[in-house]
Structures are given as C-alpha cells and as structure tokens.
C-alpha cells in the first residue's frame, strides 16, 4: 500500500525538519516547502497540509486557503495562540487542527496518524503505550455524579494537584451533561430533551448509554467522554466559544445553556479533541498537565467522512434560541 503524500510548510528550516521527520514517523510521504508562495501552481494537490504560522501572523492563513483543495485538511503549527486566535484559525472548513508550542512533535504525530489511517476514536492515542485506561458507563444524572467522584478519586490517588483536579471535575461535569442531555435526538433528529426543564431531566435516563474513560501518566491526566449520537459540529463549538469570549455581559448558565460548557472546557483543558462519526458517536478527549495550568495547546476536530456533510452546520446560539435547543 502506497504512503499518503503530505505537504509541510514552514519558513523555519529547523522546525520544518522536525515536522517532516514527525510526519514520516506517522507513515506519510512528505513534500516540504518554505512558503506558500514557493509552491508552483494555483492549486495545492495535497489533501493533508501541515502549515507553520508564527505568533505574528494569525492572518497569514489567507495566503494558503485560496490554494487548497475543497477536501483538504490543514493542521496549523504555531508557537503560541490565544483561545481567540484558535477560533480564527479554525473558521475555514478545511482547517480543523491547531498544534501550539511544545506540543509540536506529539501533536503533529497523533494528528497525522489519525488523518492518514482514518482511525479517529480512542483516548489511547494521546497516552504512552501500555498506559492503563479506566472506564465507567452511565445513563442518568446520578450515574454522572458517581462517575465524576470515581474519576476525581483516581486523580487524587494519582497525586494530581487540587487545582488540576478541580479543572478535571469541571470538564467531566460539562462533557457528561452534554452527552447525557444535549446529544440525544429522536428518529426525526429533534433533540429529545429540548422541551424538558433542566431540573426534570435529572429524573430521566438518556436513551443510549454514555461512557467516560480516564487515565494518568507521569506528566498528564486524560479523560474522554463518548455519546452514541454523533452530531456535534465544529461551527457549534466555535460559535459558542466566540460568543462567550466576546460577550460584554457576565457569562451565565441561563443565557448560554450547555453551550457554556464548550467554552469552559476550552478554558480548562490543555488539549481539546473532538472525534465524530455522524449518527454513531461523538467522543471528546481532553488532557490536563500535572503542573500549573497552561493555555489550550492542541485542538482537533476529526469527522468520519461517511457523515461529514451532515455535520457541516450545527446549531449556534442564534439558531438554537429559536428552536429551544441549548447546544449540539
């Protein structure tokens, strides 16, 4: 089986060499370029592009986008980026991954491997080989509470700092609530709990079970929450995060509903990766550093091609308000 050709672009020769070596380790055949301008032709033929952007040129992507194929997948590699910068990078449908700073080698490797193989699900991809992964399955609000307690007890036994455990607990709460009550839809695609008061939902089980996986390493803690509906769209995530970033008012649960959780997760985790197979499953993988809290430095949105078109446009704060939906 021939290797997939991948394009790496970086004006920094040392960084370009690192990216090329990492992509080759992931199984790619790599073409390298020092700039977008140096690439001959009006259209870049590669489906997978790894593009280095400096911290001074969030807008530099404008040079690349016009030359991309419609079905291209771009990974941005940048020394640093604010949460606002990340949302700017990710706006184009073809830009679905950002690797920041020290995450370069591992982030590029895992992202490339998932793109090249199509094997997108699994917390294990973000862990050293052989790391034990623990698992809890649940279907209701009480199960959510027990699952969070179990994860936090394990985090304490793994000697994680209190601040990190607090962030883990917050992320688990948000992801589990979304999976239990915002992901489920009926046969017509209508959200099952859209017309149910949030307090009443606590007495109702979700139609399909939710799972949470978690693990600890010498440097990180990882959690992954999976629902069995697969309908979280990238534009839904970005629209809620941007609305929370730019809101002139105090952010509150009543105004933003479960969409607030997408923003809180992005602020609490070191990595935020969403894997979706439409109608089958959504898995959100988050990692946390053992040390001091760091800004988000790995973002990824992986969509199984079988249902990609159905996930082009998900609910936003504006459309959801008109339909009685809190989020996707």
303 and 158 within one domain: yes
pLDDT band at 324 (very low <50, low <70, confident <90, very high): very low
> Within a domain: residue 328?
no
**What's the rounded mean pLDDT across residues 61-86?**
90
pLDDT value, residue 277: 94
Residue that wins the pLDDT comparison between 326 and 220: 220
Identify the CATH number of the domain in which residue 258 sits.
3.30.565.10
The Cα–Cα gap between 313 and 43 comes to: 26
Mean pLDDT value across the chain? 87
53 and 129 within one domain: no
pLDDT in tens, 101-154: 888 899 999 999 999 999 999 999 999 999 999 999 999 999 999 999 999 999
> Within a domain: residue 294?
yes
265 and 151 within one domain: yes
**CA nearest to 73, candidates 314, 309, 302, 307:** 302
> Within a domain: residue 194?
yes
pLDDT value, residue 249: 58
Q: Which domain holds residue 72?
A: 5-117
Last residue of a domain, one of 91, 117, 143: 117
167 and 306 within one domain: yes
272 and 158 within one domain: yes
pLDDT value, residue 264: 87
Which residue do the tokens 């830009």 mark? 95
pLDDT value, residue 291: 82
60 and 14 within one domain: yes
pLDDT value, residue 309: 75
Which of 33-42, 44-53, 80-89 shows the highest mean pLDDT?
44-53
pLDDT value, residue 187: 87
Identify the CATH number of the domain in which residue 98 sits.
3.40.50.2300
Q: Is the pLDDT of residue 328 over 50?
A: no
Rg (CA), the chain: 20
The total number of structural domains that make up the chain: 2
267 and 158 within one domain: yes
């Amino acid at each position: 089986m021939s290797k997939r050709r991948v394009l790496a672009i970086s004006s920094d020769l040392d960084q370009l060499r690192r990216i090329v070596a990492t992509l080759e380790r992931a199984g790619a055949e790599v073409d390298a370029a020092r700039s977008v301008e140096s690439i001959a032709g009006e259209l870049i033929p590669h489906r997978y592009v790894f593009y280095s952007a400096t911290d001074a040129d969030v807008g530099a992507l404008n040079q690349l986008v016009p030359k991309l194929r419609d079905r291209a997948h771009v990974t941005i590699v940048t020394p640093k980026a604010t949460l606002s910068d990340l949302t700017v990078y990710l706006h184009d449908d073809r830009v679905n991954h950002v690797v920041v700073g020290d995450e370069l080698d591992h982030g590029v490797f895992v992202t490339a491997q998932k793109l090249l193989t199509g094997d997108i699900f699994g917390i294990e991809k973000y862990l050293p080989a052989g790391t034990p992964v623990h698992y809890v399955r649940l279907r209701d609000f009480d199960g959510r509470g027990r699952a969070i307690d179990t994860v936090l007890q394990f985090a304490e036994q793994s000697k994680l700092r209190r601040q990190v455990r607090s962030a883990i607990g917050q992320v688990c709460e948000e992801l589990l609530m979304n999976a239990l009550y915002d992901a489920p839809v009926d046969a017509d695609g209508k959200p099952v709990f859209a017309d149910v008061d949030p307090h009443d939902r606590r007495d109702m089980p979700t139609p399909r079970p939710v799972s949470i996986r978690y693990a600890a390493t010498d440097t990180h803690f990882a959690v992954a929450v999976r629902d069995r509906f697969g309908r979280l769209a990238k534009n839904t995530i970005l629209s809620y995060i941007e609305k929370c970033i730019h809101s002139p008012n105090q952010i509150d649960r009543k105004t933003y509903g479960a969409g607030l959780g997408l923003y809180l997760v992005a602020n609490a985790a070191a990595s935020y990766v969403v894997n979706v197979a439409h109608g089958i499953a959504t898995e959100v993988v988050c990692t946390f550093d053992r040390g001091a809290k760091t800004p988000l430095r790995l973002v990824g949105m992986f969509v199984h091609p079988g249902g990609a078109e159905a996930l082009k446009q998900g609910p936003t704060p504006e459309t959801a308000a008109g339909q009685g939906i809190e989020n996707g």
